[in-house]
């Protein structure tokens, strides 16, 4: 899978995971409808399915996905929670994306 395709798949996967966790948060902490649990469950099922689309070993995919998840979570913080990320937030994103690239595209013997 090429770099852009893998990255975009990770972004969509992260959105599905965050949404699947955010909807129950709205129900539990903001008194929203329990009906939000239905799309939350569907979103988490989509998240699990999307992770299965990668051709690499599952453990490697989960580890690399974490880097992109951090990026998407910080963008979510900014767009949904309306909180401006700090410089250290962005530094952390950069470090995690470097780690993701090393895990996914570093040389290996398997």
Q: CA end-to-end span of the chain, whole Å? A: 16
For residue 19, the model assigns a pLDDT of 96
If you count DSSP H runs as helices and E runs as strands, how many of each does the chain have, helices first? 4, 0
For residue 30, the model assigns a pLDDT of 92
SS3 (DSSP) at 79: helix
Rounded to an integer, what distance in angstroms lies between the CA atom of residue 42 and that of residue 25? 15
For residue 5, the model assigns a pLDDT of 84
For residue 64, the model assigns a pLDDT of 83
pLDDT below 50 — which residues of the chain? none
For residue 1, the model assigns a pLDDT of 54
For residue 2, the model assigns a pLDDT of 74
Where along the chain do its domains lie?
3-105
DSSP type of residue 84: P
Rounded to an integer, what distance in angstroms lies between the CA atom of residue 46 and that of residue 48? 5
């Amino acid at each position: 899978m090429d770099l852009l395709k893998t990255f975009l798949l990770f972004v969509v996967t992260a959105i599905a995971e965050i949404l699947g966790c955010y909807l129950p948060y709205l129900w539990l902490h903001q008194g929203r409808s329990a009906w939000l649990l239905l799309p939350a469950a569907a979103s988490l099922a989509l998240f699990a399915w999307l992770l299965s689309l990668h051709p690499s070993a599952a453990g490697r995919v989960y580890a690399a996905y974490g880097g992109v998840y951090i990026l998407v979570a910080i963008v979510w913080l900014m767009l949904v929670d309306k909180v401006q990320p700090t410089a250290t937030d962005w530094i952390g994103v950069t470090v995690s994306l470097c780690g993701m690239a090393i895990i996914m595209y570093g040389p290996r013997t398997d």
